Structure 1
Amino acid sequence: MLEVKVSLKRIVIFVVIPILLIFLVRLGMWQLHRAEQGASIYEQFDRETQLPALDSSSLNGHLDDVRFRWIELQGKYLSSRQFLLDSMTYEGQAGYHVLTPFAVNDGVSWVLVNRGWVLADPDRRVLPEVSVSEIPRVIRGMAESLPQPGLSLSTPMNLMPWPQVVLFPSFEELEIRFEQSLIPYQLLLDSNLPDGFSREWKPRALPPERHIGYAIQWFSFAGVLAFMVIALWARSRTRLNDEIGR
């Protein structure tokens, strides 16, 4: 029976705990890697938003070429066909992002303009008033991708009247609903322009400081565990020496 207890103790000390230590250290390293990625995104955001605005000729490019760049377009909103992007939060409150199609003056291009965040009614059957004038205008927005869920679920889009509530749609799904091709990214409407809602645009990535904080936590857990292992090892060595000295 004693041999079984000793064997289990050895398994814990020499197998389980080292594996756990490696796991905690790898989590810390992963968070540091995420911090580097986040810092790169925030640096790109600060750099690109300071550049002069692009015009409609940039719409044919890939998002990677224009992400976080301001783009100025002439055209008009299509108020009768709007989407409410669900599960968006602002200052801790649940609501929607209002996605309004904008027909560019070239007569071909449609781009989704995110006009900002609106509060959701406690009764989700009651939708916010988001209509906008369809007069010709010039808008300015920042190029960005649509938000994506942590877990992608395939859910068919319903055919409810406009504005339609959607949850993490793809551009392909939106194009089917519009029966119209779209520029494959959204424009985040400049907060200085009218006909928008709450707008405080920033990268969706966590600030690097948060990831560094998480990394310190994981490394701290690993350090505490390593200290416990050393203490147990020293204690067992002391007992062994005492038994030998008897």
Structure 2
Amino acid sequence: MINWRLTLFTLVFFCVFVRLGFWQLDREQEKVALIAANASSLASAPVSLGALTTADAQMLQRRVVLRGYWDRRVVLLDNRILDGRAGFEVLQLFWDETINGWTLVNRGYVRSGPHRLDAVEVPQDRTAYHSTRSIVGMPWVPGGGQVHWLGHETMAHGIPLVQTPDPEQVGLLLSVSLHPTVIRLAETDPMALPRNWPVTVMAPELHRGYAVQWFLMSLAIVVMWVVFTWQQLRRSPAADESQAPP
């Protein structure tokens, strides 16, 4: 006799596992498209920040070019890891003439000192402050525009240390009005620092591997149901024969 509770259980989880498998395949395609869009952006000419909307920065990943000058004011972004070492990312002000305003530029990573709030040396290209210049970078809207401000601390040398790169709140710290987009500086720029900014956190191939796992689990649960049901059906005739009158 078929166990209908077990059958229903099997059917539900079979559908769940198959759905999760196809979801992982969809994620793989999204990552492939994102990587392709990033490669296309790197191959195309950058546009001015003034010509880019926040929606473009989130969806198109267009490179931008800023024309202006560096300001020495810096904020450090906490809890950054590079090559297994804890540190910070350097957020520095840049005046962009195309928008006639300040922009927060992420230059990259610096190591932390022995203690978290110890002073750290931020490498500088001293010629960067002598004249106006053009810089190129990739726009980045922190948290997709949904950033929760977690306050700030002050390093031993007076530099603010923040947990989230919220341009609005960082602007309040530095007493300036900032563009809502953070610019991740191109690694070829003289002011660029080491960084690890992968286009995607997880490679597309990993999503495919997870999809295979979900499909195998759906197959396994069906096989277990078939084996259990077959054993139950085999036992039923034997039980009927043993209970039959002589």
TM-score range, shorter chain: 0.7 to 0.9
Q: Alignment partner of 1:28: what SS?
A: helix
Residue 135 of structure 1: aligned partner: 130
Question: Following the alignment from structure 1 to structure 2, what is the Cα–Cα distance between the partners of residues 30 and 92?
Answer: 31
Contact persistence 2:14–2:221 (CA under 8 A): yes
Residue 82 of structure 2: aligned partner: 90
Question: Following the alignment from structure 1 to structure 2, what is the Cα–Cα distance between the partners of residues 152 and 102?
Answer: 21
Contact persistence 2:14–2:222 (CA under 8 A): yes
Is residue 2:171 matched to residue 1:171? Answer: no
Contact persistence 2:46–2:63 (CA under 8 A): yes
Q: Alignment partner of 1:183: what SS?
A: strand
Residue 218 of structure 2: aligned partner: 222
Cα shift readout 1:138-194 (whole Å, capped 9, x = no counterpart): 322122222579x97553x23636422211243322232233222221222121121
Unaligned runs of 5+ in 2: none
Contact persistence 2:71–2:94 (CA under 8 A): yes
Contact persistence 1:175–1:181 (CA under 8 A): yes
Question: Following the alignment from structure 1 to structure 2, what is the Cα–Cα distance between the partners of residues 243 and 152?
Answer: 66
Shift of 1:19: 2.7
Higher share of residues assigned strand: 2
Cα shift readout 1:22-71 (whole Å, capped 9, x = no counterpart): 3222222221221122112111101111001223xx42531333543332
Residue 62 of structure 1: aligned partner: 53
Residue 152 of structure 2: aligned partner: 158
Amino acid at match of 1:45: N
Is residue 2:238 matched to residue 1:238? Answer: no
Question: Following the alignment from structure 2 to structure 1, what is the Cα–Cα distance between the partners of residues 186 and 76?
Answer: 18
Cα shift readout 1:84-137 (whole Å, capped 9, x = no counterpart): 222222233332221111012468311111111222334212242116343323
Among the aligned pairs, what percent are the same residue? 24
Amino acid at match of 1:165: L
Residue 113 of structure 1: aligned partner: 105
Contact persistence 2:152–2:163 (CA under 8 A): no
Question: Following the alignment from structure 2 to structure 1, what is the Cα–Cα distance between the partners of residues 160 and 234?
Answer: 72
How high is the TM-score relative to the length of structure 1? 0.81
- The counterpart of 1:79, out of the listed 64, 72, 82, is 72
Residue 3 of structure 1: aligned partner: none
Distance 1:121 1:235, change over 3 A: farther
Q: Alignment partner of 1:112: what SS?
A: strand
Question: Following the alignment from structure 1 to structure 2, what is the Cα–Cα distance between the partners of residues 165 and 90?
Answer: 18
Distance 1:99 1:27, change over 3 A: same
Question: Following the alignment from structure 1 to structure 2, what is the Cα–Cα distance between the partners of residues 236 and 152?
Answer: 56
Contact persistence 2:87–2:109 (CA under 8 A): yes
Amino acid at match of 2:175: E
Residue 17 of structure 1: aligned partner: 10
